[in-house]
Chain A
Amino acid sequence: MAATVAAILLLLLAFVLWPVLRVLATSLAGPAGLTLANYAEFFSSWRLLRILVNSLVVSTVSTVITVAVALVLAYSVTRTDIPGKRFVSLMSLLPLISPPFLVSLAFILLFGRNGVITQALHLDWSIYGFTGIVVSQVFTFLPQAYILLANVLGNIDVSLEEAAENLGAGPLTTLRRVTLSLARPGLASAALIVFILCMTDFGNPILIGGRYNVLATEIYAQVIGMSNFAAGTTMSIVLIVPCLVAYLVNAYWVGTKSYVTVSAGARTAVRPTPPALRRPLFVLAGGAALFIALIYALIPLGSVVRLWGSDWSLSLRHYAFASSAEGASPIWNSVKLAALSGVIGTVVALAAAYVVERKRPPGRRAIEALSLLPAALPGTVIGVGYILAFNVPPLLLTGTVWILVTSVVFWKFPVAVLAGINALKQIDPAIEEAAVSLGAGSVRTFARVVMPLLTGSAFSIFVYFFVNGMVTVSAVIFLIYPGFNLGSVAILNQVENGYPGVACALGTLILAIVIGSVLLLRALVGGDRVAVLKL
């Protein structure tokens, strides 16, 4: 067991801490040792300060709107009896399993220079820029806020609402003074998490940002475009700070303020919704769900239209992938990356969860903190850090698939470890003690007693890594190497090169593979055992 603990700790030090330290070191390195010159340069440049402000402003606006929309959707699904709740819930979760910038692509198809609506209305306006980033981020990060709020609202004891009603409160008073008041910590938490996601978002700004530059994309431009690691790493650290602050506030302050207490006799059924609320909520929630459905219907549609915006005849020519030499190989590379990340990530995450939750060795705190740290790290920073950390021996990984696999596994590690810890918490330690008292050793106990109880969670974690391996872009775009492009990056390339149809074809294939594999796993292990993929 000590060997396992040491191995996990070493992996985390190498693949989480070391890249971050390399980024920090590079940003502080000058010709004559340590220097703050790079930071001085950053904060004295109006252009760069402007980019920082852009990031903060666009993230704040996106966060406020995302949380508001998620609140309406989560409230409608969990606390009302409007029709079509299942559809609303399904649509609210859909962006979770798609490449993070397909929403941008859909908005470009609608409002871009050749967009359907732009053309139909003869608009002299296109969506590129601030507006584009905001609307895309809202629908991209909706699921994260939705899951959190649905969880908080869904667990409110209906007796609380009944008590308010019994004491004479009308539906709006009850909503304001009781229900929403209970959801306040959840709202704060959702806002902080979405803020981090927006700050670190790379795909949407690069596709639809136009000339509205944000830090995440500027880092990419500096590092990959100009090989300016000094500027890139400095901006990375500047980007990490607000994310880390939001992460810490959430983890150590908001997170401890949950009001959700499940007591004896608590019921979570739903009160009949008064008509004054029912109709507007139905229109809002139903409208939002339909809009998401439309966004995702546009991608396959765009893939079978000959030339979007001018020739609407149906065609399968985009699936020939003739516009690039690599053809469809990026898709298969993505599948390979996703499968490797799934297997390796599941094993390492479960082992780490088991060590943290059950074995509690010395160094447990360090393992836990390092496992969760990536939640505050932008994908671009992971990308830069991995380039810096793994292009020299002893860990020379650049140019191999392993740098991609480790980046996916360790960047997406926090959610997987938390899922593992939660799953283990559900298992009574007495079950393991019973096995040990009957003479089973440590390995046998884990293999024969614990592991079978974790099957459902293990599959969920596998699916989580697999999906992320298929759709992630921000870290891996730094790490792909000649001859090994990925599907998600290829979509970006195709849009930039003016082939939105091909981008749609690639997006459709990725969506199909992801949805297919989720359904296949559900069929294999039973629907209820594959928990909804959270975050």
Chain B
Amino acid sequence: MRISLDRLTKRFGASTAVDGLSLEIGQGELVSLVGGSGCGKTTTLRVIAGFERPDAGEIRFDGRVVNDVPPRKRGVGIVFQSYALFPTMTVAENIAFGLRVARWPAARTYERVAEMVALTRLGGLEGRYANELSGGQQQRVALARALARRPEILLLDEPLSALDAKIRLRLRGEIRKIQQDLGITTVYVTHDQEEALSIADRIAVMRNGRIEQVGRPVEVYARPRTDFVADFIGISNLLSCSIVSARAGVVDWEGERLRIALDGGADGDRVVLSLRPEKLGVVAERAPDDGRNRLHGVLEVATFLGPFVRLEVTVHGRPLWVDVPHATGVLLERRKPVTLAFAPDDCVVIAATGSSAD
């Protein structure tokens, strides 16, 4: 089932939680709404589920407007952040709840519960109560319950936020696999950009009730359109520059001339460069010119992060993050000068909005 959100607006008193948001979600697609707290992602989800009525705009399922359809008739499954398992019912009773309400025959209900138990690997736990389950098991019961009635849309509200890091990783994979096997259209709300990048077909980065950028994870990561997205998705060094020569692709940053792949813009325009830490390299001070930009700075902190080392280097009084492999052949010592290099097409040019970058 396709979901169309058309200029949705939802206000709570004086504050606008969702502000003219439009988004198309295709059949079988998993779209992740990602953003900080208060960005409107959960409200958007609750509008789709029918728990909140939009003040303006339309929600369409396969082209049919569902604004006036109450939650219990929308045929969407939802997994709540708190799981909301019925504590007075067993695992099997929780999963069967929606089927009983819909008056499925007992035999079919039994069969379907068994299927869901198998799908979510809950075998042997059917008779347990929610408080006798681990967090991961509770999460899987919530998923099984939401899917039992074969909804055509699945909504997940921060489904993994209450779990340990390891279990989170494993369940993330399981949810994705089940979602793809069933081919169910899914909206996945999370504040964790890494989770969004790894699980979604497309991610929609939200801020102040609007979508800042939507696209495939690799696009959004590689080509952030705004400084907010560049900063929120992954880690970015944001360099506030002015164009010296649009034709030659030269900008000025803190008095330093940098060659970059410019695409339009006029001389004197302000632009922001987004430079991922892994795109910056450390080179020997007297290394021969290889066409890359060189920046000279001082190493402040080196943090060991397992697969790589993250450096904080001060250049022209500004801190830059640099991720380097363990063995670079360059001596890393605090308070010592280091030379950084990046190629002209390693950075992304963002029109300056003056919002979050300094």
Contact = CB atoms under 8 A, between A and B. Distances in A.
Contacts of A168: 72-73, 98, 101-102, 149
Interface string A174-207: 0001100110100000000000000000000000
Contacts of A166: 49, 71-72, 74, 76-78, 146
A256 B70 CA distance: 37
A264 B80 contact: no
B123 interface: no
Contacts of B102: 168
B357 to A, nearest CB: 32
Contacts of B145: 163, 167
Given A168-B98, A169-B97, A173-B101, A264 B72 contact: no
A266 interface: yes
B72 A170 contact: yes
A259 B70 CA distance: 28
Contacts of B88: 178, 181-182, 184, 259
A181 B84 CA distance: 14
Contacts of B304: none
B37 to A, nearest CB: 12
B268 interface: no
A267 B70 CA distance: 21
Given A167-B97, A168-B149, A266-B82, A261 B76 contact: no
B71 A165 contact: yes
Interface residues of A, number: 26
Given A164-B97, A166-B76, A264 B87 contact: no
B248 interface: no
Contact of A163 (B70, B73, B84, B158): B84
B149 A264 contact: no
B87 A163 contact: no
B163 to A, nearest CB: 10
Contacts, number: 84
Interface string B25-69: 000000000000000000000000101000000000000000000
Interface stretch (A60-68, A123-131, A154-162, A345-353): A154-162
Given A182-B88, A259-B88, A265-B158, A165 B82 contact: no
Contacts of A165: 51, 70-72
A262 B76 CA distance: 26
B321 interface: no
Given A168-B72, A168-B102, A264-B161, A162 B97 contact: no
Given A165-B72, A167-B149, A265 B161 contact: yes
A267 to B, nearest CB: 8
Contacts of A264: 81-82, 161-162
A178 B84 CA distance: 11
Contacts of B77: 166
A181 B49 CA distance: 25
A263 interface: yes
Nearest to B71: A165
B131 A163 contact: no
B300 to A, nearest CB: 33
Contact of A159 (B80, B131, B146): B80
A182 B87 contact: yes
A263 B72 contact: no
Nearest to B82: A265
Contacts of A162: 49, 51, 71, 78, 80, 84
A153 to B, nearest CB: 14
A162 B76 CA distance: 12
Interface string A250-283: 0000000001010111110001000000000000
Nearest to A258: B87
B36 to A, nearest CB: 16
A173 B102 CA distance: 11
Given A167-B72, A261-B131, A157 B84 contact: yes
A182 B130 CA distance: 13
Contacts of B308: none
Contact of A167 (B82, B83, B98, B161): B98
Nearest to B148: A167
Q: Which of B83, B84, B161 has the most CB atoms of chain A within a 10 A radius of its CB? A: B84
Contacts of B51: 162, 165, 271
A168 B87 CA distance: 18
B110 interface: no
A264 B135 CA distance: 11
Interface string B148-175: 0100000001100110000000000000
Contacts of A160: 84, 86
A319 B76 CA distance: 68
A163 B78 contact: yes
Contacts of B161: 264-265
A298 to B, nearest CB: 41
Contacts of A184: 88
B292 to A, nearest CB: 47
29 contacts: A159-B82, A160-B86, A162-B49, A162-B84, A163-B86, A163-B145, A164-B86, A164-B97, A165-B51, A165-B71, A165-B72, A166-B71, A166-B76, A167-B97, A167-B98, A167-B145, A168-B72, A168-B73, A168-B102, A168-B149, A170-B101, A181-B86, A181-B88, A182-B87, A259-B87, A265-B80, A265-B157, A265-B158, A266-B82
Interface of A: 157, 159-160, 162-170, 173, 177-178, 181-182, 184, 259, 261, 263-267, 271
Given A157-B82, A167-B149, A168-B73, 15 more contacts: A159-B80, A160-B84, A160-B86, A162-B80, A163-B84, A163-B86, A164-B101, A165-B51, A165-B71, A166-B77, A167-B145, A169-B98, A173-B101, A261-B87, A265-B80
